[in-house]
Amino acid sequence: MNTGIISTNKARCRDCYRCVRICPVKAIRISEGQAQVDPARCLACGTCVRECPQQAKQVRNDLAKAQELIGTGKVIASVAPSYVAAFPDYGGGLFPAVLKQLGFDMVAETAVGAEMVARETAKVVSEEPQPHIASACPVLVDLIVKYHPDLTGNIAPVVSPMIAHARHLKAVYGDDAKVVFIGPCSAKKAEAEQPDLAGEVDAVLTFEELRAWIDSAQIRKDQLRCVDMDDIPASLARLFPLEGGLAEAASMSPDLLKQDFVALSGNEQVEEMLENLKNGSSVKLFEALFCSGGCINGACFGDGKDIFRRRNQILQHQKRAIRGEEIPDFDGIMQKIDLRRGYSENAIDRREITEEAIRTVLMRTGKESPDDELNCGACGYPSCRENAIAVITGMAEHSMCIPWMRKVAERKADQIIDNSPNGIVIVNSSLRIVDFNTAFAELFSCGRGIVGKPLSTLMDPGDFEIVMAGAVDRIVNKPVSFPAYHISASMNVYRLEHEELVVGILANVNKGTKGLRRLEHIREETLSDAEEVIPKKMLMAREIAGILGETTSETRVLLRKLTELMKESDENGGRADISQ
């Protein structure tokens, strides 16, 4: 059971929904804009850890737990065969040497357990005619028992290489020996804590955790003496992290390899495999690894190198290592330990969702008909319906619908601007009027007919021209008067960032018209609304611009500047004259 292997650093989480988009089983719950990993749904695959642009996802750190074991008796490091690619600077016997320097009594290759698992799996396949799925990958096993429980019976009833090796080490060196598994996979932490496997492995470290331990120990590599791995050599099973490694280790027959064996990796291929099984596959054995490319692409590898270099390093290591090695009697060794294991369904509870409930959620986010369902994926779900279902089950929020939130923000922005007591006008690079609000129309006694006409038909456009040309960034609180309209005010002019538009705001207006009697009354209300909408709504609008490639610059900047200028006006003691 996953007891919270993956978690979110709330301080780093930026509300981008990337983790929702890339999670293969949508185990990310969004609550109050924060992403939280649901342990019951999570596969602990680490995909979100690897893909989060803000590094807000993190794997539980068990380094202290492993360090506490040192000195408590015989402590053995069981090292995944991909270590040669993760620590290339510690080749030629330096890797076991550095682990012993850290305090491990023995260092052995998990590939020994992989060899046993491969042979036992081949035996199962030869004895039972049904299609089987290799059990080596804990993420794959968890995916099946939780999300495809009807295929649980297709999992080969064999333990993983980690468990097989741990059982072997304790059978040979005593049940009181402590085993610390070290590898690139975060899901191994969850596997080691499953009830029927409790105590088999005493601690699990990722390569990243081990790298941090080595760095903190400040061990000098030039003072290390090369030593051999302990216990027995691993032979062909050193290829286990690669696609097809199990078949190679088990020395399966060419006929099986050609006709009835499929090696694959990656979430998409895994899903295709599961569908193939449901449709009556004739394949006898699927060797599937959840990470694309195999274990050499584990989420906690942490060396920053591409998988092609990693693959080559493992192939070269295997070729060098088997020269002169005496092949152990694996059949005899396997007889001393139990390599079998049963798997039980642990299906995620999926309550039935009515069509009425789905339509209710969709309508709340402006989707009154199927034509309104964009299925843009910005929320992290592939369709609007799936997002609605997630909302109903408590995994998502209405506000995750980016296009809808954009419309809400823009409507609110339009309302605030239109109700502003300050006269606001926007002109383009030709100094022609693009838009204006109600207050501006009342000040100059104009209607929508002036849209597209030169600003000069109402006022001197000189200040607007200066700002548009870039001679100054903006003009603030400049006293102006328009005798023809009996207006005196302070004017603020600035250019919208990244836009060929200039905005003018007439504040602290004095005009004897009944139409402006309401301005002071709504001034504080408007300012309050603006202060509320900008942080809550326009932050979302900014995210929309990044995700959908659309711009909300005009609205965002206008509101921000509007609020600032209204505040400045209040601080300067300016008030609209409503005495007449």
Q: In this model, does residue 517 exceed pLDDT 50?
A: no
Q: Say how many C-beta atoms besides its own lie within 10 A of residue 149's C-beta.
A: 15
pLDDT at 518: 44
**Confidence band, pLDDT 50/70/90 cuts, at residue 559:** low
> Where does residue 322 rank: exposed (0-12), middle (13-18), buried (19+ CB within 10 A)?
middle
- Domain annotation covers residue 42: no
Mean pLDDT, all residues of the chain: 85
Of the residues 288, 303, 334, which one is the last residue of a structural domain?
334
Out of 174-183, 221-230, 311-320, 444-453, pick the least confident.
Answer: 311-320
Q: In this model, does residue 114 exceed pLDDT 60?
A: yes
Check whether residue 499 and residue 379 sit in a common domain.
no
Split into its structural domains, the chain has a count of: 3
Check whether residue 257 and residue 385 sit in a common domain.
no
**Confidence band, pLDDT 50/70/90 cuts, at residue 527:** low
Overall average pLDDT of the 315-334 stretch:
76
Q: In this model, does residue 341 exceed pLDDT 90?
A: yes
pLDDT at 131: 94
- Which tens digits make up the pLDDT trace of 234-248? 777 788 888 877 766
Residue, of 572 and 426, whose pLDDT is higher = 426
pLDDT at 304: 73
- Domain annotation covers residue 24: no
pLDDT at 297: 92
Check whether residue 411 and residue 313 sit in a common domain.
no
Check whether residue 384 and residue 439 sit in a common domain.
no
Check whether residue 414 and residue 541 sit in a common domain.
yes
pLDDT at 575: 41
- Which tens digits make up the pLDDT trace of 270-283? 999 999 999 999 89
Check whether residue 454 and residue 485 sit in a common domain.
yes
DSSP conformation class of 340: B
Out of 17-21, 377-381, 407-411, 550-554, pick the least confident.
Answer: 550-554
Are the beta carbons of 400 and 379 closer than 8 angstroms?
A: yes
Q: In this model, does residue 194 exceed pLDDT 60?
A: yes
Check whether residue 364 and residue 322 sit in a common domain.
no
**Confidence band, pLDDT 50/70/90 cuts, at residue 432:** very high
Check whether residue 363 and residue 499 sit in a common domain.
no
- Which tens digits make up the pLDDT trace of 308-321? 899 998 888 887 77
Hunting for tokens 């005619």 — which residue is that?
A: 129
pLDDT at 303: 77
- Which tens digits make up the pLDDT trace of 197-252? 999 999 999 999 999 999 999 998 888 999 999 999 877 778 888 887 776 665 55
- Which tens digits make up the pLDDT trace of 365-416? 999 999 999 999 999 999 999 999 999 999 999 999 989 888 887 777 788 7
- Which tens digits make up the pLDDT trace of 289-303? 999 999 999 999 987
Overall average pLDDT of the 420-431 stretch:
92
Sheet strand arrangement including 433-436: 433-436, 423-428, 501-510, 487-495, 474-482
Check whether residue 363 and residue 439 sit in a common domain.
no
pLDDT at 430: 93
pLDDT at 349: 85
Check whether residue 487 and residue 544 sit in a common domain.
yes
Check whether residue 373 and residue 411 sit in a common domain.
no
pLDDT at 499: 80
- 352 token code pair: 């039935």
pLDDT at 522: 44
Q: In this model, does residue 117 exceed pLDDT 70?
A: yes
**Confidence band, pLDDT 50/70/90 cuts, at residue 553:** very low
Out of 54-68, 212-226, 303-317, 427-441, pick the least confident.
Answer: 303-317
- Domain annotation covers residue 486: yes
- Domain annotation covers residue 18: no
**Confidence band, pLDDT 50/70/90 cuts, at residue 455:** very high
pLDDT at 85: 92
- Which tens digits make up the pLDDT trace of 144-167? 999 999 999 999 999 999 999 999
Which residues lie below 8 Å from residue 166, measured CB to CB, with a gap of 6+? 78, 113, 179, 181, 200, 201
pLDDT at 251: 58
Q: In this model, does residue 182 exceed pLDDT 70?
A: yes
Hunting for tokens 């794997």 — which residue is that?
A: 59
List the domain range (segments joined by +) for residue 454: 405-571
With left for phi above 0 and alpha for psi between -120 and 50, is residue 290 left, alpha or beta?
Answer: alpha
Residue, of 559 and 268, whose pLDDT is higher = 268
- Domain annotation covers residue 209: yes
Q: What is the pTM of this model?
A: 0.75
258-264 contacts: CB < 8 A, separation 24 or more? Answer: 260/284, 260/285, 261/285, 261/287, 262/286, 262/287, 263/287, 263/288, 264/288, 264/289
The beta strands (E) that lie in 136-219 are given as 178-183, 203-206
- Domain annotation covers residue 325: yes
Crossing angle of the two packed helices 402-419 and 539-548, in degrees rounded to 10? 130
- Domain annotation covers residue 296: yes
Out of 366-375, 429-438, 527-536, pick the least confident.
Answer: 527-536
Out of 61-70, 174-183, 570-579, pick the least confident.
Answer: 570-579
Task: Please state, in angstroms and rounded to a whole number, the distance separating the CA atoms of residues 464 and 287.
Answer: 69
**Confidence band, pLDDT 50/70/90 cuts, at residue 351:** confident
Percent of the chain with pLDDT over 90: 64
Overall average pLDDT of the 456-484 stretch:
93
- Domain annotation covers residue 253: yes
Which residues lie below 8 Å from residue 287, measured CB to CB, with a gap of 6+? 134, 136, 243, 244, 245, 246, 247, 261, 262, 263, 264
Check whether residue 243 and residue 330 sit in a common domain.
yes
Percent of the chain with pLDDT over 70: 84
